[in-house]
Structure 1
Amino acid sequence: MPDFRLSRRAALRALAGIGALALGTAACGPGDPSRSTAARRLGAEWGSHARTFMSWPALETVWGEDLRHVRRDIARLARAIAEYEYVVMLARPDQVAAAQKACGADVEVIPLAVDDLWARDTVPLFVEEGGEAVGVDLNFNGWGDKQVHDNDARVGRRLLAEYEIPRERAPLVAEGGSFETDGEGTLLITESSIVNDNRNPGKSRDQIEAELEEVLGMEKVIWLKGVRGEDITDAHVDSLVRFTAPGVILLDRAFPGTPADSWSRSSDQAMSVLSEATDAKGRRFEVIDLPQPDPYRIRGYSDDFLCTYANFYIGNDAVYLPEFGDRRADDRARGILQEHFPRRDIVPVNIDTIATGGGGIHCATHDQPGKPLD
């Protein structure tokens, strides 16, 4: 009997390639002076996606005996997203077959050497310019040379060549998880994750802001303090604050009664900044608390366990939310997300091993804007 799912997958890949070409294959190369960034736009995540990129974890040196468990989490997440939109999994050539078996036929697995699962940080940012897509390569350096990721450092160049999308090398070092935008010219970012000598030595905040405004088409950058040196990312913004619409922000909050620490103080500082700030269009922000689960009721373990609900991923027709085992908190977070995304399904996913590694659903996914595939 013919495998219609595989045939559909092959057809979707062909259509996805056509869609990418239609959205953006300008002839300009990196740094081409003929390219103007005046009309450049970094879209919001709730815009339509052509595909979601993910990466198959490969590093036993990082995951040890948890490698098979984190692969199970990644496969579970990929299957959940593939119920709603096209998913492409990047995997080392010798691991493609195993990844394909784990993820199922509705996920396309392509041979492209990666080191770990953090596609948010290694896949380029896709900006729109004149109806075309440009991939902005952020020069991934292992979160300030904290880990060696030689393959992941090349993902941007290789992936954009695979899909024939023009590449522009950013004038700074950053990761995709460093940025949160409303799609209307406003960028939220933590100072700790980018104004940092482990990424951009000698560069001031003003210099970096000017570079971000140019390369990403931003009109206004709002800086939050963040936390330096206490996690591998230096406190990416996507685990702290997330837009749900222009002018509307969800803010990660510690479970009530939890002793104050660097992370809760960072949340307080973000609230202080956002309560006084306006976006690129002059609007004041509505900031809504997104409380964490009870740390004594979750399934997770390890000092690095990331138990924030803010690290969700907005897909074409669904929002993917971590569930941690505290049923009351999980249900509360799901209700908050459903209120803000009433036309999307809210899909809880168990990602306990990913969270043990200090990451979440958003960290493991990367959207490419474009017309959704049927």
Structure 2
Amino acid sequence: MAKGSEPHPPTGLRLGRRRFLTAAGLAVAGTALTTAAGGPARASQRAATAGAGLAAGFRVPVDTVPHARTWMAWPDSSTIWRSKLSGVQSNIALIARTIAKYEPVTMCANPASVAKARSLCGPTVTVIGDIPVDDCWMRDTGPVFRTDGAGGRDTVGLNFNGWGNHQNPHGNDALVAGRLAAYLGLPFTAAGLVAEGGAIETDGAGTLMATRSSILNANRNPGMSQAAVEKAMCAAYGATAVIWVPGIAGQDITDDHVDATSRFLGAAEAVVQQPLATDTDVWSEDQRRQYAILTSATSAQGTPFTVSRIQGPDYNLIRSTDPNFVGSYANYYLCNNAVISAQFGDSRADSAARATLARLFPGRTVEQLNIDYLGAGGGGIHCVTQQQPAA
């Protein structure tokens, strides 16, 4: 039977984003997968003191600002990826080559893999062997770059711990943020919490959006109150307010990252991927909750949000039948003059997503890539990239 003609497994039964890594038998710590907040999951938006990060004038800008470079990481572990490794490498190379049409790309690879990475990525991508890596998820392991609006840049590390010790080994990835900052000669500060970049969105104007199930979780920040976590996040990002989305704990290795569903477009502007009306699984309900939260939220300046929708694909019509597949158009990556997004083989949804991204980002070229191997690994294009903003 041709791929796509057989009904896709119900999304509620999917292992979820990158869960296949733990299913493959990697070491998993026995930490609790409960949120620190307790009680029913609900939206919470609170002002917080920005602390030293904001006092110093540094903040993480919104994704739409001009970039100096994109950073990526080369996967080479057959222990992690098994039979998926060559396909994932081809997807990573495709993403890197596509971004390199618009801005410089530097790929961090282990010394033994530099030659292969250079061969697949081609001459437009710079591959270095100075920063060892365990895997390809640079959004979560790389430094968060900040600017001060006067030509200065520094970096913050989010203390990556293997998504709550779900994945081992992660010793190299835990050091990527600091090592990359040192490679660039930029100041580096460790944040006062454990998190991943995919779990936090910033509008660059004082407002953060974060996943409660991932960050307020005993496997990352045991014993920290919500107020303490908010204060640490705001200090790291140079923000003053946090909008929490509840997320889903224990269903995937990330405990649900916000960047697969909801993204900031700018101050008081966001886009949220929405499921089909007939989808009733936990991931679809999470998308609907995130949309409801943002449509009733206000920014750090007290401005109500304008929220756009991007329609998700029909899992019965996409190419992949992998039960771990993540079909996220919202996990796009913005680079200079372009939007790099995925397409999944549902031609109607792919075309509609392209049109939506073109409308949301006028003047940028929309590139849609087949990254099915990466999607079967539970991630997307935003997950494997980290922007270095121009000063």
> What is the aligned counterpart of 1:302 among 322, 325, 334?
322
- Structure with more contact order per residue of length (Cα contacts < 8 Å, sep ≥ 6): 2
- 1:152 paired with 2:182, answer no
Report whether the alignment pairs 1:352 with 2:368. no
**Aligned position for 1:75:** 93
Contact 2:143 2:156 in 1 (8 A): yes
Runs of 4+ in structure 1 off by over 6 angstroms are: 33-36
Letter paired with 1:172: L
Cα distance, 1:38 vs structure 2: 4.6
Question: Which residue matches 2:385?
Answer: 365
Is 1:57 aligned to 2:57, yes or no?
no
Q: Is the 8 A contact 2:271 2:307 kept in 1?
A: yes
Residue 227 of structure 2 corresponds to residue 209 of structure 1: no
Taking the TM superposition and a 5 Å limit, the aligned residue runs for 1:42-191 are 42-111=60-129, 112-129=131-148, 131-148=151-168, 149-191=170-212
Separation of aligned partners in 1, 2:98 and 2:288? 34
Pairing 1:196-345 to 2, within 5 Å after superposition: 196-258=217-279, 260-345=280-365
* Aligned length, in residue pairs: 338
Q: Residue 303 of structure 1: CA displacement?
A: 2.1
SS in 1 for 2:92: helix
Is 301-310 or 73-82 further displaced after alignment? 301-310
Secondary structure of the 2:153 match is strand
Quote the Cα distance in structure 2 between the aligned partners of 1:308 and 1:36: 32
Task: Give the match's secondary structure for 1:320.
Answer: strand
Tell me by how many angstroms 1:36 deviates.
6.7
Distance 1:244 1:35, change over 3 A: closer
Range that drifts further, 315-324 or 129-138: 129-138
Q: 1:287 to 1:36 in 2, by over 3 A?
A: closer
Structure 1 residues 34 and 80, CA gap change in structure 2 (3 angstroms): closer
Residue 58 (structure 2) aligned to one of 29, 40, 44: 40
Q: Name which of structure 1's ranges 47-56 and 296-305 shifts more when overlaid on structure 2.
A: 296-305
Query: Could you tell me whether the CA contact under 8 Å between 2:54 and 2:239 is conserved in 1?
Result: no
CA contact (8 A) 1:231 1:304 kept: no
5+ long unaligned stretches in structure 1: 1-32
SS in 2 for 1:363: helix
What SS does the aligned partner of 2:155 have?
A: strand
Correspondence for 1:23? none
Partner in structure 1 of residue 27 of structure 2: none
The TM-score normalised by the length of structure 1 is 0.88
- For structure 2, the residue ranges without an aligned partner over 5 or more in a row are 1-50
Q: 1:34 to 1:307 in 2, by over 3 A?
A: closer
| CA distance in structure 2 between the partners assigned to 1:295 and 1:36 by the alignment | 43
Q: Which letter does structure 2 place at the counterpart of 1:127? A: R
> What is the one-letter code of the residue matched to 2:133?
V
Q: 1:287: Cα distance to partner?
A: 1.4
Native 8 Å contact 2:53 2:238 kept in 1:
no
**Shift in Å at residue 312 of structure 1?**
0.4
Quote how far apart the aligned CAs of 1:188 are: 0.6
Secondary structure at the counterpart of residue 383 of structure 2: coil
Tell me: CA distance 1:35–1:79, structure 2 relative to 1, closer, same or farther (3 Å).
closer
Amino acid at match of 1:300: S
Structure 1 residue 247: Cα displacement = 2.0
What's the offset of the Cα at 1:268? 2.1
**Aligned AA for 1:220?**
A
